[in-house]
Chain A
């Protein structure tokens, strides 16, 4: 299988034969870029190549979905993009910084300043209130999230996910969907350059999953938030402006959906069928 670069793709044809107009300006430089990324690791005695020479570019305000079946390397790719892991070869460039070359502490500080993460498991600190959980990135950075501008931003982030009035609740007093909304607010509170979401609806039922996706999309539309979403669910991927399909650690196709308020899954399902995914 050959690896297809998607660093600056032209508008790709969709399954129904029409061509969607790219939502973002492809002439602008990307804020997040992967260059020929390879990630291998050992599993017992065998070596596994989880990511095999993937290149991609994400531009400001774009909502990109990485889609593929289980084991296709999409989560590993997201971890590499977010600087949580280092590639075996290749580079990740975030806002001009080559994240993959940084040692742990500078990479951590870069993550703190420029990225936000949402995981499948909400990973809230159980004994902190909603407010404290959302303000955690500020706390980690040594700021007081209960005063001044930080307090204001915590309030805004909570409002963004419609949890006003629940600030003093603890995670165990919230539903699963609400907990994931807290996790989303925590990722958004620092106004990160890129928000990276790893199967954020994987642990939720249909309705609450939709709530999360709606809010992700809203942040993208209303605040211009750049989002990279990893999912195996076509309904989730249908919220994205662009979808990259992965199989066996390689990017096998790309679909430009454009910004569509209806999030129809039709074109996506058709392409998946073509690809046999």
Chain B
């Protein structure tokens, strides 16, 4: 076999360009796969670091549900629970630095996050890393620690005063900086702007009765499950959420599940397209060397030896491509890691390169290459020596065999995906969510499998406009495509799959952008939103001042918060029903609009978004009980709306301000929706914005908010588009291969055509047209398939959603891109064909 192995090696080097193109195809597929693995491992690493930063060595975290927080009696209960050794209460709030306000002339800068902690107890669970100064000590209430990042931004040094804006009661309060915290400080979400105060000082500053959370350290040998059970029976005063470090990690990882599934799907698509390329290359090799194979067989080579010969070539290309792919994958992983925060994931500040991941990517790249080589190897082995040595033997397999191969490779890759990408543990993804990538994958298979049957008719149809102007070129190009229909179909299939992914994501992106733009305007009773980092009490004088500005019709306070329904957090929003009624917001799908919104202000009622009503199985008239302190609060479902205000995790149920403050502990509004009188916006807005800034409120235009969401989505989908474009480029390499082989097979024919008077330019145009037809058919099928896949994704995500318009722009661009890649791919083979020496061509065997 050593001798035959050398033959495989020599054959690869006989056609270095083709070998390199094929290896590049595999390399790109492996690159996307490895980038997905590296980014996944990096996300895991970042999640672990975030959990460590958040929880330190705490075993359990008790998080307050309402703004009132967890009060001292609850903390005392926690401390006295058997098995609990350390209790570390923390208060976390956002505010502004007064110095900063002055410096910007009353403008609003980025807020700071204040963390209040117990100087004696907290270090036992959360070690703070100081680079300068001293730790906080009990009793020194006017001292503060600031993060290095904040110190650098605000030019703060040890001993400086830092003045924080507090509640109306406390006002601005100054603290002395006694220590600098390393880097961004202990809170990963605060973007480095952290001030740490003694807990008592923080509570005074914000005038709150409770704390945001209490971290618990268990006694040695204590069973967390027993402690959890004890807490469940003892903590009845205030609603809380109990989580373990694993829960926190799962919650952080959950936001990136879609990202990981998306990259995994695209990796599978890229690899699949790479497999097309390998299959075509090896088919070409077998077809070209059919006589050589015949000779080997006649000389006594066994079928097994011939199989191994072809597979050795596949393995060499697979190994070369996979190694190149690992290097390229690292580069791509950097791009992916940068995009993780846009998906709601943690900041990935360093790449984790798992050795087993590298081995896995290498092995999968090799396996896909070998799988792609099986059919050509089998075909080569089956050739009878007599048949192979006969002139004109082509060694081309039947279409059914190739389609069978297509399905096998597709299913193998899908199964590998299922095994390698199980959903993250502890994340409540529905079965439908898990199946979605596979549904998409299956649809792509369907589109690819249909291409052999559609290539002929579509090619004829698309070639029609050219038939008159370029009669010979167009007729011969179509004939060349029909010469080996299954090879053409596989080439088209690869292009189709890549483009379908681009168009499908375009469909989803368009829908998401439209939804983002529409959502806020249909639910917010105003033209503008003013955001506040602290709760604005209903009686704050600022509200009346804003409402009194000429041109302002209405100022409606809004607040989002969480409620505890059967032990699960549900987003809720406090609203004035009368404002929504007067403004005509919300689309009711059940219940009477006037009755429902009036009932909200009367108390004891709620309006549910349709998505939540479905999830809870609630109907109009039902009564829902929410855990609030010692006794539950019951609210009657007064109506169901199509879309509601957005909360942090989903759409919020709506309650009146009366219930929000009395039952759920909401202390004030976080947003003010401002509606201008008709035609008065230009008059009122400048004054309102100026006043808002002086009250530390951040004005946001609704269109701008929708646009910002759209931009963020654009970045997210742009990344996926990039990965899908990689698949299209691989398909482009496949077109180069197919056309080169097509030219190679037709050398004598091209010689004859040149002898019969075909000019070089005509030959060049013939090959370019062949690519153009391939590209046009692939692009058309890709666009149609993509629209179908996109529609299915949307239907799976929201079965009742109204259908959106088709993403014509994306489909048009994808079509143009596919066509351009194909035409570009024709450059080399067309040059090859047009420069053939006629004399050599007609004598070519």
Residues of A bordering B, CB below 8 Å: 75-76, 79, 82, 84-85, 104-105, 108-109, 111-113, 116-117, 119, 121, 123, 125-128, 132, 136-137, 139-144, 186-187, 198
Q: Check A121 against B748 for contact (C-beta < 8 Å).
A: yes
Q: Check A112 against B838 for contact (C-beta < 8 Å).
A: no
Q: Report the stretch among B170-178, B610-618, B754-762, B805-813 that lies at the interface.
A: B754-762
Q: Is B752 an interface residue (CB 8 A)?
A: yes
Given contacts A117-B752, A136-B756, is CB(A125)–CB(B842) below 8 Å? no
Q: Check B479 against A186 for contact (C-beta < 8 Å).
A: no
Q: Check A117 against B755 for contact (C-beta < 8 Å).
A: yes
Q: Is B476 an interface residue (CB 8 A)?
A: yes
Which residues of chain A are near B748, meaning CB under 8 Å?
119, 121, 123
Q: Check A123 against B752 for contact (C-beta < 8 Å).
A: yes
Given contacts A84-B842, A132-B475, is CB(A140)–CB(B752) below 8 Å? no
Interface members, chain B 732-775 (any A CB < 8 Å): 748-749, 751-762
Least CB distance from A173 to B in Å reads: 14
CA A5 – CA B843 in complex, angstroms?
28
Which residues of chain B are near A187, meaning CB under 8 Å?
756
Least CB distance from A169 to B in Å reads: 15
Q: Check B839 against A141 for contact (C-beta < 8 Å).
A: no
Which residues of chain A are near B471, meaning CB under 8 Å?
139, 142-144
Which residues of chain B are near A186, meaning CB under 8 Å?
756
Partner of A128, one of B475, B758, B760, B761: B475
Partner of A79, one of B752, B762, B839: B839
Q: Check A112 against B757 for contact (C-beta < 8 Å).
A: yes
Which residues of chain A are near B754, meaning CB under 8 Å?
84, 108
Q: Is B512 an interface residue (CB 8 A)?
A: no
Which residues of chain A are near B843, meaning CB under 8 Å?
75
Q: Is B482 an interface residue (CB 8 A)?
A: yes
CA A5 – CA B774 in complex, angstroms?
54
Partner of A105, one of B472, B749, B759, B839: B759
Q: Is B483 an interface residue (CB 8 A)?
A: yes
Q: Check B755 against A84 for contact (C-beta < 8 Å).
A: yes
- Secondary structure of the B contact surface, majority rule: helix
Q: What is the chain A residue whose CB lies nearest that of B748?
A: A123
Q: What is the chain A residue whose CB lies nearest that of B750?
A: A123
Given contacts A84-B839, A121-B748, is CB(A140)–CB(B483) below 8 Å? no
- B807-845 Cβ-contact flags toward A at 8 Å (1 or 0): 000000000000000000000000000000111001100
Q: Check A142 against B472 for contact (C-beta < 8 Å).
A: yes
CA A141 – CA B472 in complex, angstroms?
8
Which residues of chain B are near A140, meaning CB under 8 Å?
472, 753, 756-758, 762
Q: Check A127 against B479 for contact (C-beta < 8 Å).
A: yes
Q: Check A123 against B842 for contact (C-beta < 8 Å).
A: yes
Partner of B838, one of A85, A113, A142, A143: A85
Which residues of chain B are near A119, meaning CB under 8 Å?
748, 752, 755, 842
CA A186 – CA B755 in complex, angstroms?
12
A123-B749, A123-B842, A140-B753 known; 16 other A-B pairs, CB under 8 Å? A84-B839, A85-B837, A104-B759, A108-B754, A108-B757, A113-B757, A117-B755, A119-B755, A119-B842, A121-B842, A126-B483, A128-B479, A140-B757, A141-B757, A187-B756, A198-B842
Q: Check B760 against A136 for contact (C-beta < 8 Å).
A: no
Partner of A137, one of B751, B757, B760: B757
Report the 5 A-B pairs with minimum CB-CB distance, sorted nearest first. Answer: A112-B757, A123-B752, A127-B479, A139-B472, A117-B755
Q: Check A82 against B472 for contact (C-beta < 8 Å).
A: no
Least CB distance from B712 to A in Å reads: 52
Partner of A123, one of B479, B751, B757, B762: B751
CA A152 – CA B370 in complex, angstroms?
55
Q: Check B757 against A104 for contact (C-beta < 8 Å).
A: no
Which residues of chain A are near B760, meaning CB under 8 Å?
104-105, 108
Q: Check A136 against B753 for contact (C-beta < 8 Å).
A: yes
CA A187 – CA B755 in complex, angstroms?
10
Q: Check A127 against B757 for contact (C-beta < 8 Å).
A: no
Partner of A117, one of B482, B756, B837: B756
CA A121 – CA B472 in complex, angstroms?
22
Which residues of chain A are near B757, meaning CB under 8 Å?
108-109, 111-113, 137, 140-141
Partner of A125, one of B476, B761, B838, B839: B476
Partner of A139, one of B475, B482, B759, B838: B475
Pick 25 A–B contacts, CB within 8 A, sort by A: A79-B838, A82-B755, A84-B838, A85-B837, A85-B838, A85-B839, A104-B760, A105-B759, A108-B757, A108-B759, A108-B760, A109-B757, A111-B755, A111-B757, A112-B756, A121-B748, A121-B842, A123-B748, A123-B749, A125-B749, A132-B475, A139-B472, A140-B753, A140-B756, A142-B472
Q: What is the chain B residue whose CB lies nearest that of A137?
A: B756
CA A85 – CA B842 in complex, angstroms?
12
CA A108 – CA B755 in complex, angstroms?
7
CA A137 – CA B758 in complex, angstroms?
8
CA A139 – CA B762 in complex, angstroms?
11
Least CB distance from A116 to B in Å reads: 8
- B472-513 Cβ-contact flags toward A at 8 Å (1 or 0): 100110010011000000000000000000000000000000
Which residues of chain B are near A108, meaning CB under 8 Å?
754, 757-760
- B403-445 Cβ-contact flags toward A at 8 Å (1 or 0): 0000000000000000000000000000000000000000000
Q: Check A127 against B483 for contact (C-beta < 8 Å).
A: yes
Which residues of chain B are near A139, meaning CB under 8 Å?
471-472, 475
CA A218 – CA B749 in complex, angstroms?
27
Which residues of chain A are near B838, meaning CB under 8 Å?
79, 84-85
Q: Check A125 against B479 for contact (C-beta < 8 Å).
A: yes
Q: What is the chain B residue whose CB lies nearest that of A121?
A: B748
Q: What is the chain A residue whose CB lies nearest that of B474?
A: A139
Most buried by A among B758, B761, B839: B839
CA A141 – CA B475 in complex, angstroms?
13
CA A143 – CA B472 in complex, angstroms?
9
Least CB distance from B482 to A in Å reads: 5
Which residues of chain B are near A136, meaning CB under 8 Å?
472, 753, 756
CA A132 – CA B472 in complex, angstroms?
10
Q: What is the chain B residue whose CB lies nearest that of A82?
A: B755
CA A198 – CA B842 in complex, angstroms?
10
Least CB distance from B62 to A in Å reads: 76
CA A127 – CA B748 in complex, angstroms?
15
Q: What is the chain A residue whose CB lies nearest that of B468?
A: A144
CA A109 – CA B754 in complex, angstroms?
10
CA A53 – CA B638 in complex, angstroms?
107
CA A142 – CA B470 in complex, angstroms?
7
CA A109 – CA B757 in complex, angstroms?
6
Least CB distance from A117 to B in Å reads: 4
CA A1 – CA B439 in complex, angstroms?
80
Q: What is the chain A residue whose CB lies nearest that of B840?
A: A85
Which residues of chain A are near B758, meaning CB under 8 Å?
108, 112, 140
Which residues of chain A are near B762, meaning CB under 8 Å?
140
Given contacts A84-B839, A123-B842, A139-B471, is CB(A109)–CB(B749) below 8 Å? no
Q: What is the chain A residue whose CB lies nearest that of B479?
A: A127
CA A37 – CA B16 in complex, angstroms?
39
CA A135 – CA B318 in complex, angstroms?
46
CA A218 – CA B203 in complex, angstroms?
114
Least CB distance from A109 to B in Å reads: 7
CA A119 – CA B837 in complex, angstroms?
15
CA A163 – CA B482 in complex, angstroms?
25
Least CB distance from B391 to A in Å reads: 9
Which residues of chain A are near B482, meaning CB under 8 Å?
127
Q: What is the chain B residue whose CB lies nearest that of A86?
A: B839
Least CB distance from B650 to A in Å reads: 59
Q: What is the chain A residue whose CB lies nearest that of B481?
A: A127
Least CB distance from B787 to A in Å reads: 32
CA A121 – CA B749 in complex, angstroms?
10
Which residues of chain B are near A111, meaning CB under 8 Å?
755-757
CA A128 – CA B476 in complex, angstroms?
8
CA A168 – CA B487 in complex, angstroms?
26
CA A84 – CA B754 in complex, angstroms?
8
Which residues of chain A are near B472, meaning CB under 8 Å?
136, 139-140, 142
Q: What is the chain A residue whose CB lies nearest that of B480?
A: A127
